[in-house]
Amino acid sequence: MIPWWVLAIAVFGANFTLWGLIGLLRVLDGWHGSLRTRMRPRKAVVTDLQAHREKKAEPGRHRLRRATNLKLTDVAVLIAAHDEELVIRESLRAITALIPPKQVHVVSDGSSDRTVEFARRAGVNVISTEENVGKAGALQVGIRRFRLVRRFRLVMLLDADTRVEPGYFGAALPLFDDPDVVAVAGCVRTSWRDRSLSFSGRLVAFHRQRIYSMTQYLLKFGQTWRHVNATHIVPGFASLYRTDVLPNIEVNPPGLVIEDFNMTFEVYQKRLGKVGFTPTAVAETQDPGTMRDYVRQSKRWSLGLWQTVRRHPPKPNLFTAMLSLLLLELLTSSIMLVLLPLVLLVLLVPELAGGALAVPWFAGTYEAVSGYLTIPALLLGIVLPDLLLTCVVTLIQRQPRFLLYAWLFLPLRVLDSAIALSSLPLAWWSSSNGRWSSPRRHSIDPAADTPGVDARVG
């Protein structure tokens, strides 16, 4: 008989436990570092930074002497947009409130709507591709034609449906004071308060926000600690890169459906530097408003992960170890969740129809399943922990309405698991051209969403 706690570990995993504990160490380290900095003379801090720079500049070191104390004038914003007329105006309004329009660059990727018109009205730099070349292809075109590597020290890759919160740069830019940090991952919050969303749209938004909260607070925060730095994705919805590493990153490799997994893998596998993350560098994005679009986007993301894993052979480093544990747990938990409805059905049928055990083939199946699993074990090991996670997210977000959808989150996790497993063979059997079609957008009402407690998105 499988104990309930083994089920809980298999489904929710060692990853959250391991990186959650490391995240706690990061918090303690931050407190200690802050106290130590306040107690030391300012001159000592400057001397330490200078010594670090001199060490990086020693002969034979391959890293560049990188600038610190970066400012908004060092940042270029790059947006790849394909038919985004419903959302790009509000996204540009939000970013140009923080960054001068002359530093914002839009690549219209074969758009057939008013995307270019709205971008020009916002006063930003705009170019177009003749056809849909894909998001990664559009980013590559923008980096080259706008000469961003030569003109700026940082580039923000921003999705057309993303609204950057006012405190984003104040939280993100100081992370580049560590010369080893070459990218900073933004903290995503979904725009679930939009009143135009249907029930399924709100369900998707709440489900995504729950995932964002868990992965960002329990995984990414620990994975981006300076002492053990290894995270599997710098999401492309609103993240920053040092431009000096972009020539070493293949932004648009052939055969991949999305770019952000690959860019992150290249940072680590080519030893370009570290990734920074803080939960206070927040940007809000628009998740799919229908279940059909949600499934399509989830398939795209999942396929992109497996394609990137296929493209990058493992190496003896921390990143490969982190990724191996993540993928192993993804596979085991996905298999268990996909089998969960069938197992529950087998265990429940005798309770509802006692004569079912008289059927030979079903009796054998029931005996095999019940020998390892029971309904109480499933409730304690899977259903109850999932509900507790929802309660934790409800407290973090301070939104009791999450509990109204709690009973549907587990079925959506089953759906996510089925998508992850079905995408695995496709990564080896198929190739992607990177061309995209965004989920169906809905116009953004600035008054409908108010910045709240922060919690990939393309």
Q: What pLDDT, on a 0 to 100 scale, did the predictor assign at position 61?
A: 39
Residue 177 has pLDDT above 70, yes or no: yes
Distance CA 283, CA 233 (A): 16
CB 91 within 8 A of CB 158: yes
Strand partners, 164: 283
> Band of the pLDDT at 48, cuts 50, 70, 90?
very low
Q: What pLDDT, on a 0 to 100 scale, did the predictor assign at position 57?
A: 42
CB 10 within 8 A of CB 333: yes
Residue 221 has pLDDT above 50, yes or no: yes
Residue that the structure tokens 């006012």 belong to: 166
* Mean pLDDT value across residues 237-252: 96
Residue 27 has pLDDT above 50, yes or no: yes
Q: Which one has a higher pLDDT value, 57 or 96?
A: 96
Q: Which one has a higher pLDDT value, 141 or 9?
A: 141
Listed ranges 129-138, 263-272, 340-349, 362-371; the one with the highest mean pLDDT: 263-272
- The angle that helices 291-311 and 199-214 make with each other, rounded to 10 degrees, is 30
Residue 458 has pLDDT above 60, yes or no: no
Angle at 138 between CA 431 and CA 271, to 5 degrees: 75
> Band of the pLDDT at 405, cuts 50, 70, 90?
very high
Amino acid at 248: N
Residue 262 has pLDDT above 60, yes or no: yes
Q: What pLDDT, on a 0 to 100 scale, did the predictor assign at position 399?
A: 84
Q: What pLDDT, on a 0 to 100 scale, did the predictor assign at position 8?
A: 74
Amino acid at 3: P
- The angle that helices 384-397 and 199-214 make with each other, rounded to 10 degrees, is 90
CB 148 within 8 A of CB 78: yes
What digits encode the pLDDT tens for the residues 97-124? 999 999 999 999 999 999 999 999 999 9
Please state, rounded to an integer, the average pLDDT across all residues of the chain.
86
Distance CA 311, CA 103 (A): 33
Q: Which of 200-214, 320-334, 442-456 has the lowest mean pLDDT?
A: 442-456
* Mean pLDDT value across residues 200-223: 92
| Tokens standing for residue 444 | 């953004």
> Band of the pLDDT at 449, cuts 50, 70, 90?
very low
Q: What pLDDT, on a 0 to 100 scale, did the predictor assign at position 443?
A: 62
Q: How many CB atoms lie within 10 A of CB 9?
A: 18
Give start and end residues of each alpha helix (H) in 283-383: 291-311, 318-352, 360-370, 375-378
Give the DSSP letter of residue 338. Answer: H
Q: What pLDDT, on a 0 to 100 scale, did the predictor assign at position 455?
A: 34
CB 429 within 8 A of CB 311: no
What digits encode the pLDDT tens for the residues 345-362? 999 998 888 788 888 888
Domains of the chain (ranges, CATH numbers) = 1-31+67-458 (3.90.550.10)
Q: In what order do the strands lie in the sheet with 163-164?
A: 125-129, 104-109, 75-81, 154-159, 238-242, 181-190, 274-285, 163-164
End-to-end CA distance of the chain: 43
What H or E segment, with its residue span, contains residue 35?
Answer: helix 4-39
Residue 43 has pLDDT above 70, yes or no: no
Residue 265 has pLDDT above 80, yes or no: yes
Distance CA 307, CA 321 (A): 18
Q: What pLDDT, on a 0 to 100 scale, did the predictor assign at position 218?
A: 86
Q: Which of 266-270, 304-308, 399-403 has the lowest mean pLDDT?
A: 399-403
Strand partners, 77: 104, 156
Distance CA 194, CA 4 (A): 39
* Mean pLDDT value across residues 177-184: 96
